[in-house]
Amino acid sequence: LYPAIAEHRVTSVDVARRAGVSQSTVSLVLSGKSRGRVSARTEAAVRAAASDLGYAANVAARALRTGSARTVGLIVPDVTNPFFGRVLRGAQQAAWEEGYAVLLADAGNDRRWQLASLAALNALTVDGYLFFEVEPPPGQRVRGVAIETLPRGLPVVRLDGAAGVRAALEHLRSLGHGCIGHVSAEIDTDTFRIRRETFDACGGGPRELGAVSVDGAREAALRLLDGRAEVTAIFADDDVMAFGVYLAARERGLAIPADLSVVGFDDLDLARVLDPPLTTVAADAEGLGAAAFRALFAVMSGADAEPERVLPVSLVLRESTAAPAAGG
Amino acid sequence: LYPAIAEHRVTSVDVARRAGVSQSTVSLVLSGKSRGRVSARTEAAVRAAASDLGYAANVAARALRTGSARTVGLIVPDVTNPFFGRVLRGAQQAAWEEGYAVLLADAGNDRRWQLASLAALNALTVDGYLFFEVEPPPGQRVRGVAIETLPRGLPVVRLDGAAGVRAALEHLRSLGHGCIGHVSAEIDTDTFRIRRETFDACGGGPRELGAVSVDGAREAALRLLDGRAEVTAIFADDDVMAFGVYLAARERGLAIPADLSVVGFDDLDLARVLDPPLTTVAADAEGLGAAAFRALFAVMSGADAEPERVLPVSLVLRESTAAPAAGG
DNA sequence: TTGTAGGCGTTATCAC
DNA sequence: GTGATAACGCCTACAA
């Protein structure tokens, strides 16, 4: 059932001994470079010996020799956000197909950790980096692709955040909302910069910033609701923040959507669970992760990846939005 | 700001050349084994050269030589569940203090992947394993600790699930609930086996199984609500499943807690966001991860870790539970 | 078609 | 105190 996690790790020498060939033949066969060089008999014998012994190549040795550990690092700002789990899974799936592994480094929304993670990955001779909403080191030529940032040297894979924001605002407008508030992430990344700029360009209303967490958003939303303007709808920068808006609305005795419409971004599983279910911009997190890995793979293979890949998003209408109450 | 992700990786030979000493002296100094062997002058020169060049030891080479990559693998069934993010963070924090890195392997709730992940980690010469709700390979002597399973050879770190279930049921009982339903995880792991057994031992009522997901739980809850018994309260095996119960209740037009009381397990951030806020058993995910790493570290250090460490949990009362309606 | 040999960057054991 | 030197397990040119 399980692969052998042996006491004595079995090496290619063990396999060679068992198959009665030399170590280099084993290496040749198992790295698939035996075409027309090793006889079918020998090859079969080697493979049999390898599987009998449960042989798996030592990555450290291979990495030392080839300079590649067939591994890429994914750096995320906060493993705790469910969105990243999906991105990781997508990236892992795609990486798997090419025989790569994805190492996750959590920057913990903290600069010091971020550096440490990067150093750790670098020391591990990672072949490339996937920077999620994290600034790649400036000035250095790094093999990597950036996820959810604007092009700045590295190839970029990102969601069409602007289209998402536009769709959300148009939807709210068409319902008759005049003053739309924005609960926005205070962290200064392109993802959220784009959302803010688009929001403003579409003539959105007042904005309050908060941490990307339920509580941070709750506080921002309270400020918005207690402010001077008559906010009848709120666009939140992501679903987790939309959850905070729900809390704030409840605290102020506002019914959603009768007194306040809310739109989020991401479409987490839990968006459907809220009462009422959250209208939100659906983002394909797995697709984002997979696309990012493929772009990185292209870069690593020497091909030049497209400088920017923008993935579509779509507004999914649920029940957190409605026309504003007459006489707001 | 950022550590150098160099083109030409700087090696200990480069450092030696720059400091005007031999490579072995560099190694001696930088691995802290120079006490009373290398002069203070030389040591200072080596350190200066190393930091000038931004030297970081090549992990692959060190791993090859020492047989250890100072790395442990954490195998989880589903990265998508927010609970694991917290466990990972706790483990990473603790590992960091000992100079270890934690590699995450997502088993994807899928046996094949699980094996693949394990093989991948094994090849990476991981020093030990943290098995989260995942069966360690039977029969083999693996360096690892199991998280959230019953003792079965490996040291175990787990939550006091039984106490949590008891607290939940006692709470519901004290409110006057007679027939308490159980929405339980269909996967066959100790975590949930314990919850089921405790539930039964406390005289709980009917049970329906479902996948550990919002939808799986929703379906199970619907079966429970549509069944013959008059269920007035439901205990869900974890918060994500409790969310599914909320959906089911909404679909059947049942108000929480007036018509149906609900209790979850984990205390995810989002438990507070539901309407009404979810009464749930709070589990210290970060603490679980940290304790698990420390236990593993003890094992790796040759010390014998306690065979079982049980972490307390506590019921947090919110508004999803109330006395059943008279005449149910 | 197969085997030999050298080296990737470390650490660790010895001589000096 | 310091510096050769020999592995660790793998890949790969080159020799047989």
Residue corresponding to tokens 């569940």: B81
pTM: 0.84
Query: CA-CA distance, B128 to B155, in Å (whole number)?
Result: 12
Using pLDDT thresholds of 50, 70 and 90, give the confidence band for residue A141.
low
Q: Do B214 and A269 touch (CB under 8 A)?
A: yes
Q: In terms of C-beta distances under 8 Å and separation of at least 24 residues, what long-range contacts does B247-250 make, across chains too?
A: B247/A272, B247/A273, B247/B214, B247/B218, B247/B221, B248/B217, B248/B218, B248/B219, B248/B221, B248/B222, B248/B224, B249/B221, B249/B225, B250/A275
Measured between CA atoms, the residue of chain B closest to residue A107 is B89
Q: Do B103 and A108 touch (CB under 8 A)?
A: no
Q: Are B300 and B125 in contact (CB under 8 A)?
A: no
- The per-residue pLDDT for A285 is 95
Residues sharing a CB contact under 8 Å with residue B287, sequence separation 6 or more, in sequence order: B90, B311
Residues sharing a CB contact under 8 Å with residue A216, sequence separation 6 or more, in sequence order: A186, A210, A241, A244
- Cα-based distances in Å from A226 to A196, A211, A223, A230, A252: 21, 19, 5, 9, 9
Torsion sign across C-alpha atoms A76, A78, A79, A82:
negative
Angle at Cα A185 formed by Cα A72 and Cα B247, nearest 5°? 85
Closest C-alpha among A264, A273, A274 to residue A316: A264
Residues sharing a CB contact under 8 Å with residue A271, sequence separation 6 or more, in sequence order: A239, A242, A264, A277, A278, A280, A318
Residues sharing a CB contact under 8 Å with residue A82, sequence separation 6 or more, in sequence order: A240, A268, A269, A270, B80, B82, B85
**Backbone phi, psi, residue A60, to 5°:** -60, -45
| Residues of chain A found within 8 Å of residue B269, distances taken between Cβ atoms | 213-214, 240
Q: From the candidates A117, A135, A275, which should be mutated to test the interface with B, based on the most B CB atoms within 10 A? A: A275
pLDDT at residue A309 is higher than 90: yes
- Nearest-CB residue to A270 (from B86, B270, B272): B270
Strand B279-282 relative to strand B314-316: parallel, antiparallel, unpaired? antiparallel
A9 touches chain B (CB under 8 A): yes
- Nearest-CB residue to A140 (from B5, B69, B116): B5
Q: Do A275 and B275 touch (CB under 8 A)?
A: yes
Q: From the candidates A269, A272, A284, A286, which should be mutated to test the interface with B, based on the most B CB atoms within 10 A? A: A269
Instruction: Encode pLDDT of A113-135 as tens digits.
Output: 656 666 666 666 678 889 998 77
Q: How far is the CA of A119 from the C1' of C12 (A)?
A: 26
The one-letter amino acid code at A262 reads V
| Number of C-beta neighbours around residue B182 at 10 A | 23
Query: CA-CA distance, A320 to B75, in Å (whole number)?
Result: 37
Residues sharing a CB contact under 8 Å with residue B286, sequence separation 6 or more, in sequence order: B86, B87, B89, B90, B93
The whole-number average pLDDT for the span A61-68 is: 84
Query: CA-CA distance, A288 to B177, in Å (whole number)?
Result: 46
Query: CA-CA distance, B36 to B56, in Å (whole number)?
Result: 24
Max Cα–Cα distance, chain A, nearest Å: 89
Say how many residues make up chain B.
Answer: 328
Instruction: Encode pLDDT of B8-31 as tens digits.
Output: 678 899 899 999 999 999 998 988
Packing angle of the helix pair B12-19, B23-30 (nearest 10 deg): 110
B317 touches chain A (CB under 8 A): no
Helix ranges (H only) for chain A are: 12-19, 23-30, 40-53, 59-66, 82-97, 111-123, 161-175, 190-201, 214-226, 239-251, 285-300
pLDDT at residue A99 is higher than 90: no
| Number of C-beta neighbours around residue A150 at 10 A | 13
- The per-residue pLDDT for B1 is 31
The one-letter amino acid code at B233 reads A
Q: Do B106 and A119 touch (CB under 8 A)?
A: no
In the complex, which nucleotide's C1' lies nearest to the CA atom of residue B41? D1
Q: Do A60 and B250 touch (CB under 8 A)?
A: no
Query: Per CA to C1' distance, which residue is closest to D8?
Result: B65
| Residues of chain A found within 8 Å of residue B140, distances taken between Cβ atoms | 2, 4-5
Per DSSP, A325 falls in state: P
Torsion sign across C-alpha atoms A124, A129, A132, A138:
positive
Which residues in chain B (60-99) have CB-CB distances under 8 A to chain A? 60-61, 63-64, 69, 79-82, 84-86, 88-89, 92, 96
- pLDDT lower than 50: segments of chain B: 1-6, 328
Strand A180-185 relative to strand A207-210: parallel, antiparallel, unpaired? parallel
Closest C-alpha among B256, B277, B276, B260 to residue B268: B277
Q: How far is the CA of A24 from the C1' of C16 (A)?
A: 38
Query: CA-CA distance, B297 to B303, in Å (whole number)?
Result: 9
CA atoms within 13 A on the CB side of B71: 27
Instruction: Encode pLDDT of A250-298 as tens digits.
Output: 999 999 999 999 999 999 988 998 889 999 999 999 999 999 999 999 9
B4 touches chain A (CB under 8 A): yes
* Per-chain mean pLDDT for chain A: 87
Q: How far is the CA of B60 from the C1' of C10 (A)?
A: 9
Query: CA-CA distance, B236 to B196, in Å (whole number)?
Result: 10
Q: Are A154 and A131 in contact (CB under 8 A)?
A: yes
Which residues in chain A (227-256) have CB-CB distances under 8 A to chain B? 240, 243-244, 246-247, 250
Angle at Cα A186 formed by Cα A164 and Cα A315, nearest 5°? 15
Angle at Cα B212 formed by Cα B218 and Cα A213, nearest 5°? 90
Torsion sign across C-alpha atoms A232, A238, A239, A241:
negative
In the complex, which nucleotide's C1' lies nearest to the CA atom of residue B23? D3
| Residues of chain A found within 8 Å of residue B58, distances taken between Cβ atoms | 64, 123, 125
B272 touches chain A (CB under 8 A): yes
Q: Which run of H or of E encompasses B165?
A: helix B161-175
Q: Token digits for B125?
A: 């010469």
Look at A177 and A53; give whichever has higher pLDDT. Answer: A177
Closest C-alpha among A265, A311, A303, A304 to residue A286: A311
Q: Do B138 and A2 touch (CB under 8 A)?
A: yes
Measured between CA atoms, the residue of chain A closest to residue B276 is A275
| Number of C-beta neighbours around residue B289 at 10 A | 28
| Number of C-beta neighbours around residue A110 at 10 A | 13
Count of pairs with CB atoms under 8 A, one residue in A, one in B: 159
